[in-house]
Amino acid sequence: MFRVTVTGGKGGTGKSFVAVNLAIALTRYYEVVLADVDVEAPNDYVLLGINKLENEEPIKVFLPFIDTGKCTRCGVCAKVCDTGAILMPPNAYPVIFPRLCSGCKACYYGCPYNAIIKGYHVLGYTYYNKLLYNNKTLHLVTGVLREGEEHTPPAVLATRKRAENINGDILILDTGAGTGNQISLSLQNTNLVIAVTEPTPLGLHDLLSILEVVKGMNLGVWVVINKYGVGDPSRHLEILEKYGVEKIYRIPFNRDVVETYIYGKPIVLAKPSSIVSKTIYDLSIDLVKVIGGG
Average pLDDT value for the chain? 94
Q: Answer whether 71's CB lies under 8 Å from 93's CB.
A: yes
Confidence grade of residue 294 (pLDDT, cut at 50, 70, 90)? low
The 10s digit of each residue's pLDDT in 101-114 is: 999 999 999 999 99
Please work out, in degrees rounded to the nearest 5, the angle formed at the alpha carbon of residue 151 by the alpha carbons of 125 and 18.
65
Counting residues of the chain whose pLDDT is more than 90, the rounded percentage is 87
Q: Which residues pair with 122 in a beta bridge?
A: 60
Instruction: Provide φ and ψ at 64, rounded to 5°.
Output: -80, 145
Query: Can you list the positions of beta strands (E) in 69-182?
Result: 86-87, 95-96, 116-133, 136-145, 170-174
**What does the pLDDT average to over 6-33?**
94
Cβ-proximal residues to 21 (8 Å cutoff; 6+ apart), any chain = 266, 267, 268, 277, 280
Q: What pTM was estimated for this model as a whole?
A: 0.92
Q: Answer whether 174's CB lies under 8 Å from 4's CB.
A: no
Domains of the chain: 2-58+124-291 (3.40.50.300), 68-114 (3.30.70.20)
